[in-house]
Amino acid sequence: MSAGGSAFESIKDLPSRHLLGTGTAMCAGCGGLGAISEIYDVLGEKTVFVNAAGCMTLLSIYPFTPFRGSWLYTAMASAPAGAQGVRDALDLLVGKGRIPPEEDLTVVTLMGDGSANGMALSATSGAIDRGLDFFCICYDNEGYGNTGQQSSESTPLGAHTATDAVGPGHPHAKKDLFGIWLANRPAYAATVIAAEPLDLARKLERAKTIRGPRMILALAPCPTGWGFDPKDSIEIGRLAVRTGIWPLKEYADGRLVHNKKPRKGLGVEAYLEKQARFRHLFEPERDDKAIAAIQAGVDAYWDGASSPASE
C-alpha cells in the first residue's frame, strides 16, 4: 500500500510522546497493551474507552487509570452496546445544543478475543448493522487470557492452553472473526499488531477519516498465555506477520487489501517453536504432520488471499 498522504511516512513520524500512562497491572511484554498504547497515540485523549470484561479490565483500578480521557467498564457481552448509548447520548447533547461540539468524544470499545468471538458477537454485529460511529478494538491473545489462558473460539489449531493442556492441543482452527466482521459490512476494518507500528498508525489514521463502525483486530502476543520471554513479544509479533500466520489487511470502501506478503520460504515453525504452547510439536520428538497441517492452513489462506500485497 502506498503511504501517500499519510502523516506516517516512516517510523520517524510515529508519535514520540506516548499518551497511555505506565505502571498498569498488565503482564510484562503484553502484546495487547502494546497495540492499545499505539492506537491511543493516534486516537488521542478525546476518547471514551468502553471496556468489556477481559485482561484490560485491570487497566483502570480505583483510583488509578492510565487513560487521559474517559473510561466506562460495562460487561463481557455488551461493550458495543455501551458504545451505542454513549455515542447516541453525545449526538443528542450536541444536536440539542446542550454541550458544545468541542466536548464531543470518539467512542472506542475494547474487547478481548473471548468477548469478541463469543458472547459479544451479537452486540458487535448489531452495532455494525446500525452503522454505529465507533472504533471497535479486539486484542486477540487467542484464549481466555485474564483467567489463565483457557481455550477460546480464537485459539489456533494445535495450541496448548489451560483447557487443552495435554496431547495434540486445540483440536480445530481459529475462528475467522475478521471474516465475520466483513460479512456485516463495516465502514472500515483492519488487522494490526504492535510489532508493526507504522502499519498500525497508518491504518488508525485512515480510519479516523471515516465515519461508522471501524473494526480493529490486533493480534496480542501473550508471554504468560503463550509461554515466551516478555522481551520476545515484538519478535514473535514480527514472526506472526512474516510467516503469514497473522495477515495484515485492510478493508475499506468495500475492498479488502493485504498489506504485507509473508516472507518466502519462512515456514510457520519459526513462529511456533518460540512458544511453549506449541513445544509439544517439537519435543520430545518433532510432529511433522501437525506442523504441516498448520502450514497447510496458512498456505491455503494465502492461496485464496484477495489481492497481491507488497513486501
Partner 1 sequence: MTRSLITGNAAAAWGARLAGIDYLPAFPITPQTEIIETLGRWIDTGEMDARTVMMDSEHSMLTAAGAAAATGVRVFTATSSQGLLYAMEMLFTVAGWRAPFVLVNVSRGLSAPITLEPDHNDVLAARDSGFLQLHCASVQEVVDGVLMAYRLGEDPRVRLPVIVNLDGFYLSFTREPAELPDAEAARAFVGDYDPQGVAFRASHPVSQAVAVLGGGPYSYFRYEMHRAAQNALPVYDEVAADFEARFGRAWPAVEGYRSDDAEIVFVMLGSFATKAMAAVDAMRAEGQRVGLVRPRLLRPYPAEALRSALVGKRAVAVVDQNLSLGYGGILYAELCSALYGQPGAPMLVSFVGGLGGRDIRAEEFFEMVEVARKAADEGRVPEPRLLYTAEEMRELRKLQGIATAERVELASPSPTDPSGDGPSQKERV
Q: Which residues bind partner 1 (CB under 8 A)?
A: 45-46, 48, 50, 57-58, 60-62, 65, 67-75, 77-86, 88-93, 96, 98-99, 102-105, 122-123, 125-126, 130
CB of 236 to partner 1, least distance (A): 28
Pick between residue 24 and residue 295 the one whose CB is nearest to partner 1.
24
d(CA 309, CA 69): 36
Closest-CA residue to 30 (of 162, 218, 224) = 224
Helix (H) or strand (E) holding 256: strand 255-258
CB of 152 to partner 1, least distance (A): 20
Pick between residue 75 and residue 309 the one whose CB is nearest to partner 1.
75
Strands 188-193 and 249-252: antiparallel
Pick between residue 7 and residue 92 the one whose CB is nearest to partner 1.
92
Pick between residue 3 and residue 92 the one whose CB is nearest to partner 1.
92
Pick between residue 5 and residue 101 the one whose CB is nearest to partner 1.
101
Give me the DSSP letters along 76-141. Answer: TT-HHHHHHHHHHHHHHHHHTTSS-GGG--EEEEEEEHHHHHTTTHHHHHHHHHTT--EEEEEEE-
CB of 140 to partner 1, least distance (A): 22
In 10 A of CB 171, how many CB atoms? 11
CB of 107 to partner 1, least distance (A): 9
CB of 310 to partner 1, least distance (A): 38
Q: Three-state SS for 60?
A: coil
Contact 240, 270 (CB under 8 A): no
